[in-house]
Structure 1
Amino acid sequence: MTSPDEHFEQRARELWREAAQRIDPATAGRLRAARRQALATAHAPAHRTARWLIPAGAFAVIALATMMVWQPLPQRHAAPANTMVNAAETGVELDNELPPDADKTDPNLYQNLDFYDWLAANDSPTAAR
Structure 2
Amino acid sequence: MNAPMPPFVERARAAYRAAARQVDPATAARLRAARQTALAAPRAAPAWSRRVLLPAGAFAVLALALVTLWPNMRTPLPAASPVAVGESGEGELPPDPDSTDPALYQDLDFYRWLAASGQGGR
- The TM-score with structure 2 as length reference comes to 0.37
Provide the TM-score with structure 1 as the length reference.
Answer: 0.35
Higher relative contact order (CA 8 A, sep 6+): 2
Q: Name the structure where helix makes up a greater proportion of residues.
A: 1
